[in-house]
Structure 1
Amino acid sequence: MPDTVDRRILRHLLADPDAPNAVLAERVGIAPASLWRRLEKMRESGVIVAIQGRIDWSALGWEVQVSLRFTLDKTNPRAFDEFIAAARDVPEVTEIQTFLGSVDLRLSVIARDMAHWQQIYRDRILTLPHVSDSDALMLVSTIKDSGELAI
């Protein structure tokens, strides 16, 4: 379990993941060598899985973001595996999540514009196997997008 110093490291790391270790150590109030050891320990224990870059897809011309929710026909025991394998083959799918409840899976899909979205939907989404119901939610705006919690 992370102690107070580890939690401080995590808060600063979430706030500025690009900060060099020396800067991060100064902000946390510990020596750079101590910071490095603590980061390594948190990586080894699985607390820190990865430090990732995030892409602003709209800055690259991908203006449409859609969240698709699916309920699968579970009479086929391979329904989940076959659906997930087919969804992974759709290049515009950026995220696949599974759920318990009335919705089985959710896909995040990006497209350059509405015409491109229509093409993806017709050619790739409607052909996904074992779908018994689906719902599409088109992103209008993002109010909060943060992995930060009070640590």
Structure 2
Amino acid sequence: MTRDEIDRAILRSLQASADQSTTQLAARLGLSQPAVWRRIKRLEEAGVIARRRLVLDAERVGYGVTVFLGIKLATKGRVSLEDFERAVGAIPEVQSVAHVLGLYDYRLRVVARDLADFERVLRRRIMTMPGVGDVEANVLLSEERRPGPI
């Protein structure tokens, strides 16, 4: 699918605030509402817009600690990657699971109420999963969210 500058402007605007109406987008971009709606539908059908989601402020809903975990599997032959991903995906505090190349096999984003809660999740849920070997934890101090390079 070929995207033009109008498509890129729509994508940038939706990245900044996905809850905008097509009427608001149209006014901002100097287009008609039906034209913006058709373009958004085309971008969704082409898979360029995968989904829209609500982003909660974790701290305001009681999860004041975010930790990035690097996990190296100890027994890659005995525990399949799919089994690990399925098991870690069942832990509600794990917000994202990334299979990566490098020192660790996986990078997890984990939220917890506080450090004691994180320790509980780590000891009781993550470290007890089969195949978990080395683990490195990095506590998030601050974060600046940026839109992608559209």
TM-score normalized by structure 1? Answer: 0.91
RMSD of aligned alpha carbons: 1.4
**Deviation >6 Å, runs of 4+:** none
Partner of 1:37, secondary structure, is helix
User: 2:123 aligns to what?
Assistant: 122
Structure 1 position 77, deviation (Å): 5.4
CA distance in structure 2 between the partners assigned to 1:127 and 1:50 by the alignment: 33
Hey, what's the Cα distance between the residues in 2 that align with 1:76 and 1:10? 42
Q: 1:40 corresponds to which letter in structure 2?
A: K
Show CA shifts across 1:7-42 (max 9, x none): 111112122222111010111111100101110100
Q: 1:113: how far off? A: 1.3
Which residue is 2:72 aligned to? 71
Change (3 A) 1:76 1:57: same
How do 1:1-150 and structure 2 match up within 5 A? Answer: 1-76=2-77, 78-142=79-143, 144-149=144-149
TM-score after normalising by structure 2 = 0.92
| Helix, strand or coil at the partner of 1:106 | strand
Which structure 2 segments of 5+ residues have no match?
Answer: none
SS where residue 111 of structure 2 aligns?
strand
Aligned-pair identity (%): 35
- Shift in Å, 1:115: 1.7
Uncovered stretches (5+) of structure 1, i.e. residues with no partner: none
Q: Following the alignment from structure 1 to structure 2, what is the Cα–Cα distance between the partners of residues 99 and 75?
A: 14
